[in-house]
């Protein structure tokens, strides 16, 4: 019994020892297989086998790099295996542990390809990285791993400044801008130009793409003739980040030149053919800018020329070169005149232009208006007439019926005067100065005064003639001043008053109505 049990125990022990021995044998075989796999040659490798082709370190492009710049790490990898394999470059920042992975690259047996991965650092200074080639199901040689460091520079600074401008008819608006990029790499920049008018919104006008080298660059910008009083420029980086302290914009106030007033045409038409005084009249004013400049904003006025009163007024915005605009203006009350003289004036702070217009008008007949109470005036007039008639009746009765008055010889009665006038014979003569016909008594001998020209002259009795100047004694010629002329007009020798004495009446004695000087009017 013991013997059987001893045999069974011995068998168990032997089996256990054999089992343990088999396990160790299998383990040793597996490790050996792994070692053999890592170190096998091309002839006995049935997988992709990656190794470095040339340098065993990665190459870095994009240096010098600034904070935020992207760098590219790359290495040339060869496949010495018998099958295709996929390789991927992984880069790990040793400071923050962030990994960057490139795009997987498939490499066929016997070929070499570049495997790349991007790097971006947000911190300046020396930055350390660890790298390796990763492949799923392929053998990677231990040489395809390592470490490297890059020097990261601070972000670059940009600035822009609008220094001055020039605005002329030939060149238009020309800006002088100054651009700056701090030391480091060359950068692509976008320059945008905006304009505004009267503090209004910004309007995008132009843009330029500039490849900027480190340093300062002066730039002239031609903008033509925009409608603007302010210019805004902005300098923006293209796919890179500048220093936050950068001043990448600038503003400049500009003053557009004024249009030549002589080149601003004004045309005006009246809606009514003959406007009537007091009525509302519409007028159409057409403004044409023939200048190559935009006219400034201003005012359009219709002014009455006689007293410079403003009949209508309107605010006019700027007018672009070569553009015509029309405005309708209303005169609420048309002036009271048969011919209305108007002046249409466009004016700004710096210039003005005007045109005159004469309009035939109709005067409204509203009747005569007395500046007083007509009833009171009529009553007063009637009272006055009654008084006058009463006075005349009394005077007539007195003058014709009172014997004492007629007998005393103080004054002849009206009847006597009328009888005497009827018995007096008259004759007509010509005034020697103005040829006015005068009626005088037939027996009158002496001086007479013309009621038309107020000149005094001698009149002889009927049947007698006045002596001519040639018949007068020389003493008279020497005593009386003389005046000469070759036409009907001559001057008084005393006061230089211009007189008219017909040439055919000369020589004749004349008298100046101003200074009362008597002189001889002669021919020549």
SS (H, E, C) 265-295: EEEEEECCCCCECCCCEEEEEEEEECCCCCE
Q: Is the dihedral of CA 513, 516, 522, 524 positive or negative?
A: negative
Residue 212 has pLDDT above 50, yes or no: yes
CA 507: distance to chain centroid? Answer: 76
Q: What does the pLDDT look like over 280-326, one tens digit per residue?
A: 889 899 989 887 777 778 889 999 988 888 989 999 898 888 889 99
Residue 510 has pLDDT above 60, yes or no: yes
Band (461; pLDDT cuts 50, 70, 90): low
Token pair 């004469």 is found at 358
What is the CATH class of 49-153? Answer: mainly beta
Residue 30 has pLDDT above 90, yes or no: no
User: Of 243-247, 369-373, 444-448, which has the strongest mean pLDDT?
Assistant: 243-247
User: Of 19-23, 96-100, 260-264, which has the strongest mean pLDDT?
Assistant: 96-100
What is the CATH class of 261-360? Answer: mainly beta
Query: Residue 406: its pLDDT value, please?
Result: 41
Mean pLDDT of 207-234: 92
Total-model pTM: 0.43
Which has more confidence, 475 or 61? 61
Band (408; pLDDT cuts 50, 70, 90): very low
Residue 508 has pLDDT above 50, yes or no: yes
Residue 263 has pLDDT above 80, yes or no: no
Query: Residue 27: its pLDDT value, please?
Result: 38
Instruction: Quote the CA–CA distance of 523 and 508 in Å, as a whole number.
Output: 10
Query: Residue 515: its pLDDT value, please?
Result: 83
* 169, 356, 381 from 264: Cα distances, Å: 16, 14, 63
- Where, residue-wise, is CATH 2.60.40.10 in the chain? 49-153, 158-253
Residue 13 has pLDDT above 70, yes or no: no
As given in the structure block, the two tokens for residue 259 are 């249009």
**String of b and e for 449-481 (b: at least 16 CB within 10 Å)?**
ebeebebbbebeeeeeeeeebeeeeeeeeeebe
Helix 414-423 with 374-401: angle, nearest 10 deg:
80
Q: Whole-number mean pLDDT of the chain?
A: 79
Please give the CATH architecture assigned to the domain spanning 158-253: Sandwich (2.60)
Q: Count of residues for the chain? A: 524
Q: Is the dihedral of CA 290, 296, 302, 304 positive or negative?
A: negative
CA atoms within 13 A on the CB side of 221: 28
Q: Are 346 and 316 in contact (CB under 8 A)?
A: yes
Query: Residue 468: its pLDDT value, please?
Result: 39
Mean pLDDT of 459-485: 57
- Where, residue-wise, is CATH 2.60.40.150 in the chain? 261-360
Mean pLDDT of 32-46: 40
Mean pLDDT of 10-29: 47
Which has more confidence, 478 or 210? 210
* 362, 364, 372, 373 from 369: Cα distances, Å: 19, 13, 9, 10
Query: Residue 514: its pLDDT value, please?
Result: 77
């Amino acid at each position: 019994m013991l013997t059987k049990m001893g045999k069974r125990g011995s068998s168990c022990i032997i089996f256990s020892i054999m089992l343990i021995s088999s396990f160790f044998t299998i383990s040793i075989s597996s490790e050996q297989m792994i070692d053999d796999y890592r170190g096998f040659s091309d002839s006995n490798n049935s997988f992709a086998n990656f190794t470095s082709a040339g340098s065993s370190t990665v190459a870095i492009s994009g240096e010098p790099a600034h904070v935020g710049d992207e760098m590219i790490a790359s290495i040339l990898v060869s496949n010495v295996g018998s099958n295709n394999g996929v390789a991927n470059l992984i880069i790990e920042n040793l400071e923050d542990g962030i990994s960057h992975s490139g795009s997987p690259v498939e490499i066929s047996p016997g070929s070499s390809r570049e495997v790349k991965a991007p790097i971006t650092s947000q911190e300046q200074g020396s930055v350390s990285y660890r790298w390796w080639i990763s492949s799923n199901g392929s053998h990677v040689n231990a040489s395809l791993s390592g470490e490297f460091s890059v020097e990261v520079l601070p972000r670059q600074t940009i600035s822009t400044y609008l220094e001055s401008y020039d605005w002329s008819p030939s060149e238009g608006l020309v800006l002088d801008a100054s651009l700056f990029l701090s030391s480091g790499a060359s950068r692509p920049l976008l320059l945008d130009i905006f304009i505004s008018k009267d503090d209004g919104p910004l309007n995008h006008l132009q843009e330029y793409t500039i490849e900027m080298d480190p340093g300062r660059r002066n730039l002239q910008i031609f903008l033509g003739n925009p409608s603007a009083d302010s210019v805004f420029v902005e300098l923006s980086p293209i796919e890179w980040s500048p220093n936050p302290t950068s001043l990448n914009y600038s503003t400049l106030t500009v003053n557009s030149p004024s249009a030549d007033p002589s080149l601003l045409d004004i045309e005006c038409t009246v809606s009514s053919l003959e406007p009537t005084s007091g009525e509302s009249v519409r007028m159409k004013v057409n403004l044409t800018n023939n200048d190559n400049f935009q006219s400034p904003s201003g005012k359009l006025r219709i002014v009455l020329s006689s007293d410079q009163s403003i009949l209508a007024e309107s605010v006019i915005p700027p007018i672009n070169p070569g553009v015509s605009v029309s405005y309708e203006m209303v005169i609420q009350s048309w002036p009271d005149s048969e011919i209305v003289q108007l002046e249409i004036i466009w004016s700004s702070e710096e210039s003005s232009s005007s045109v005159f217009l004469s309009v035939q008008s109709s005067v409204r007949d509203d009747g005569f208006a007395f500046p007083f109470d007509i009833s009171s005036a009529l009553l007063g007039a009637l009272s006055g007439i009654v008084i006058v008639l009463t006075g005349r009746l009394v005077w007539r009765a007195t003058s014709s019926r009172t014997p004492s008055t007629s007998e005393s010889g103080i004054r002849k009665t009206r009847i006597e005067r009328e009888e005497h006038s009827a018995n007096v014979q008259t004759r007509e003569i010509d005034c020697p100065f103005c040829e006015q016909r005068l009626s005088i008594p037939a027996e009158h001998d002496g001086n007479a005064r013309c009621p038309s020209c107020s000149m005094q002259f001698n009149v002889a009795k009927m049947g007698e003639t006045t002596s001519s100047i040639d018949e007068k004694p020389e003493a008279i010629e020497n005593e009386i001043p003389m005046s000469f002329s070759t036409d009907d007009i001559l001057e008084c020798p005393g006061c230089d008053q211009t007189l008219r004495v017909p040439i055919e009446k000369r020589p004749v004695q004349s008298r100046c109505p101003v200074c009362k000087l008597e002189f001889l009017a002669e021919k020549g």
